[in-house]
Amino acid sequence: MDISEQIKQIKDFSYSKMSADTTGHNFDHIERVVNMVQNLSESEHANQLITLAAAYLHDVADDKLVDDPAKLEKEIKEFLQKIDFTDEQANEVLFITHNIGFSKSLSENPPKLTLEGQIVQDADRLDAIGAIGITRAIYYGGANAETIYDPTVKPRENMDIKEYRNLSDETIINHFYEKLLKLEGMMNTKSAQAIAKKRHKFMEDYLTEFKEEWNLGQK
């Protein structure tokens, strides 16, 4: 099976899994990540099949979105093997999808990604910041019934993975300080760093305006 047909089938598989998502990880997010991966890859010498496969599949077994990630990872591997991926290729894709999330950076020994993994991670993180990132943060927070803002609740610091996943202790605005504003400094590639700088500034301006409006009339 040629690469173009493999990518087409991976895209269809991803759509079947992500098109009904209501948390900001819908297939439109997947396609933006794929498009950004293609843009970032122009100046890199990454394996196209691996990066595109991982980009399309990066949220299918995400532990914040599904109840049984291991079951989904097994399904992904079987699917990839069915479309002529070798065990080595399938395992590389799964290593990327399993380890690119922000939560993995909170562990004592964060995983070291290949160039392909770094590109997919950058693309995913870029979609979490800027105008679309703001919208997705609000959308995800609403889907999980988070409080929009409470100035008496301070952003959490030095979180472990368990604490990060505890949304009952998070507000939507605090999520910017606990994660989103950190992403600019966590980009791997120079191309992503340049894009992140502009998007980071947009978020800072948004937060300034938000708090001015929130505090209107208060002394």
The burial of 216, by beta-carbon neighbours within 10 Å (0-12 exposed, 13-18 middle, 19 or more buried), is given as exposed
Q: How many CB atoms lie within 10 A of CB 201?
A: 12
Residues 6+ apart with CB under 8 A from 188: 113, 118, 119, 121, 122
Domain of 130, in residue numbers: 3-214
Scanning the chain, the segments in alpha helix (DSSP H) are 3-18, 27-41, 48-57, 69-82, 87-99, 115-126, 130-143, 161-165, 172-178, 190-214
Mean pLDDT of the chain: 95
**Structural domains of the chain, count:** 1
| Cα gap 71→61, rounded to integer Å | 8
Q: How many CB atoms lie within 10 A of CB 88?
A: 8
Residue 219 counted as domain residue: no
Q: Considering the chain, what percentage of its residues have pLDDT values greater than 70?
A: 99
What was the pLDDT predicted at 95? Answer: 98
Q: What is the pLDDT of residues 11-68, one digit of tens each?
A: 999 999 999 999 999 999 999 999 999 999 888 889 999 999 999 999 999 988 999 9
Residue 165 counted as domain residue: yes
Name the pTM for this structure: 0.94
Measured N-to-C along each axis, helices 87-99 and 69-82 cross at an angle, to the nearest 10 degrees, of: 150
| Cα gap 168→61, rounded to integer Å | 23
Residue 95 counted as domain residue: yes
CATH of the domain at 180: 1.10.3210.50
Q: How many CB atoms lie within 10 A of CB 192?
A: 23
- 147, β-bridge pairs: 171
Q: What is the pLDDT of residues 156-204, one digit of tens each?
A: 998 888 888 888 889 999 999 999 999 999 999 999 999 999 999 999 9
